[in-house]
Structure 1
Amino acid sequence: MGSTTVSDAPQRVGVLEFSFIDALASVGVAPVGIADDNKRVGVFPAYSDVTGDDWVSVGTPKTPSLEIIASLQRDLIIADKTRHAAAYDTLSEIT
């Protein structure tokens, strides 16, 4: 909810929108959690070289499971400021 500096290369990244997978794929980072509308087939096949099958569904972009996200012990969550503003404080508390 503002500027953030990521000092190290995050190893465990969660994404709450499909569009963020493209950005991660372009730098060779495989997300550990993806908000995928509970449909793994929704993840673009073109990114499967990077994403593989080792990621966990964290629910839908509109209503991600904060408990699953917290359980992934990720270094970074990439979210949409507008859509996920309400979840920001809760995620900060449980992680």
Structure 2
Amino acid sequence: MFYNYFVLTEYDDFTDEQISKKKLYPDNSNQLMTIADLANYLNCSKQKIYQLTSNRKIPFRKLGNQIMFKKVEIDNWIDEQKIEVFKPMLKAKNF
């Protein structure tokens, strides 16, 4: 499930039923994801997502009592996690 940030902000407290009524298509750049959605998107456990949020290692928002993730920020965060790979230097044979 993905949610639109601008639609959700009209509520003070969110229930699952209220949020489930605001489903959007995956190509919307203002999508918000729940912890379960993000765990599915990243193919990891919900515990891992809770760990990343509690350590503030991943961008998130608290809307009412719910932790939500903006898809575009998650995609940018994934790009920032890139690890540079260096090619090993070739040894010269004549030395």
Over alpha carbons, which structure has the higher Rg? Answer: 2
Q: Which has the higher contact order (CA 8 A, sep 6+)?
A: 1
TM-score, length basis structure 2: 0.24
